[in-house]
């Protein structure tokens, strides 16, 4: 594969080249990893930035309907939109959250939209790296907005928040005054909470739910990096395409403020450091996964089990052997 040519095509916004490049970064093959690194290195020079929006919500809350409506709204506003997904469950379930072709039918037909299903990977570290690299490819390709979708499972929100400039949490209208068991950590990550399905019979419930969340958000720690009134809760209807322009206005207000006050650059720098740290950790852990290391771990574990070595001595032996390669 001619990486120079591929790079030029991506910079020209060629979507097929972009899709090929994402396949390349998703590959685990050594030679592909090397090509991917070369490609990403070349493209970094272009220094293009998109607005990266993370989006989370439990299954059924309306994520794909929202992405379709909101994506169409952005495209109709003259923006180029890419949609990526982080779905750590895909390997287990055999499907992927963007894999279903019937999802986002209108958006997928748009010339200025690009939709990429989540790669099937068993561990989140692998998914995270590939998605992060796909984000970089989409940025180089000149997209204005990148939507990164995730389902609310385990650590995937953290992964998405750490690669987003802005984090949206999509919620459904809830009866009574219970806060749908949303974990505090996820609430704290959200910049804008969107209570979806604010239409028909559900509208009054959505409005009440939204007020409940607005109240809950006020109780969270004040964020010095954000203007007054954020994080914010709003209602939308993905189906009726209501509230999308207002939501976009609020996002732009928040992002404009962060750019003007240096928070945008700082957040990206912090994220880069976070990913550097994660990469080192994953690479170290990967060294334990080689056949040789595993068999040696087994031997040492047996020695520990039989009381021949203490756990700490065996651990030190193992680490010393790893260091020697
Ligand atoms: P996801 O699992 O989060 O991606 O959710 P989907 O987008 O697949 O939507 C789940 C269900 O909720 C579908 O039956 C949608 O038609 C419905 N839905 C999504 N958005 C809305 C909305 O704004 N209003 C109403 N009434 N239903 C919606």
Mutate to test the pocket of ligand 1, among 59, 62, 236 (most ligand atoms within 8 A of CB): 62
Secondary structure element (H or E) that encloses residue 51, with its range: strand 51-57
* Ligand 1 atom at minimum distance from 200 CA: 26
pLDDT over 70 at 99, yes or no: no
Q: Is the dihedral of CA 196, 197, 203, 206 positive or negative?
A: negative
Query: What is the dihedral angle through the alpha carbons of 13, 18, 19, 20, rounded to the nearest 10 degrees?
Result: 130
**Nearest alpha carbon, ligand 1 atom 24:** 197
**Nearest alpha carbon, ligand 1 atom 11:** 60
**Nearest alpha carbon, ligand 1 atom 22:** 197
- The CA distance from 162 to 275, in Å, is 8
pLDDT confidence of residue 117 = 78
162 closest CA partner among 178, 142, 143, 148 = 148
SS3 at position 56:
strand
**Nearest alpha carbon, ligand 1 atom 17:** 62
pLDDT band at 91 (very low <50, low <70, confident <90, very high): very low
Secondary structure element (H or E) that encloses residue 43, with its range: helix 30-44
pLDDT band at 3 (very low <50, low <70, confident <90, very high): very high
pLDDT band at 101 (very low <50, low <70, confident <90, very high): very low
pLDDT over 50 at 93, yes or no: no
- Would you state the structure tokens that stand for residue 91, as one six-digit string? 């390997």
Ligand 1: list residues with CB < 6 Å: 57, 59-65, 196-197, 199-200, 202, 237-239
Q: Give the model confidence (pLDDT) of 290-308 as tens digits.
A: 899 999 999 999 999 999 9
* Ligand 1 atom at minimum distance from 58 CA: 3
**Nearest alpha carbon, ligand 1 atom 20:** 62
248 closest CA partner among 299, 191, 204 = 191
Domains of the chain: 1-46 (1.20.5.170), 48-261 (3.40.50.300), 290-324 (no CATH)
Q: Give the model confidence (pLDDT) of 36-53 as tens digits.
A: 999 999 998 888 999 999
């Amino acid at each position: 594969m001619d990486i120079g040519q591929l790079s030029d095509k991506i910079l020209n916004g060629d979507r097929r080249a972009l899709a090929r490049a994402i396949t390349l970064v998703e590959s685990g093959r050594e030679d592909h990893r090397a090509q991917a690194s070369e490609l990403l290195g070349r493209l970094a020079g272009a220094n293009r930035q998109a607005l990266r929006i993370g989006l989370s919500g439990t299954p059924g809350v309306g994520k794909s309907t929202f992405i379709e409506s909101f994506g169409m709204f952005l495209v109709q506003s003259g923006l180029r939109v890419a949609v990526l997904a982080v779905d750590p469950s895909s390997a287990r379930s055999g499907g992927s959250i963007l894999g279903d072709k019937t999802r986002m039918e209108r958006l997928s037909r748009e010339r200025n939209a690009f939709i990429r299903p989540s790669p099937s990977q068993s561990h989140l570290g692998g998914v995270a790296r590939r998605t992060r690299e796909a984000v970089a490819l989409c940025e180089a390709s000149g997209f204005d907005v990148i939507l990164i979708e995730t389902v609310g499972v385990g650590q995937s929100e953290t992964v998405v928040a750490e690669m987003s400039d802005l984090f949206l949490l999509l919620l459904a209208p809830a009866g009574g005054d219970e806060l749908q068991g949303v974990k505090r950590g996820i609430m704290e990550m959200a910049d804008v909470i969107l209570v979806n399905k604010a239409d028909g019979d559900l509208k009054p419930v959505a409005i009440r739910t939204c007020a409940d969340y607005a109240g809950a958000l006020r109780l969270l720690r004040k964020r010095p990096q954000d203007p007054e009134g954020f994080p914010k809760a709003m209602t939308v209807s993905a189906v009726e395409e209501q509230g999308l322009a207002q939501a976009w206005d609020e996002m732009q207000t928040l992002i404009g403020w962060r750019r003007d006050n240096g928070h945008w650059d700082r957040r990206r720098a912090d994220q880069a450091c976070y990913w550097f740290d994660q990469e080192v950790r994953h690479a170290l852990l990967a060294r334990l996964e080689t056949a040789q290391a595993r068999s040696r771990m087994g031997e040492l574990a047996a020695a520990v089990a039989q009381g021949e070595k203490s756990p700490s001595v065996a651990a030190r032996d193992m680490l010393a052997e790893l260091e020697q390669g």
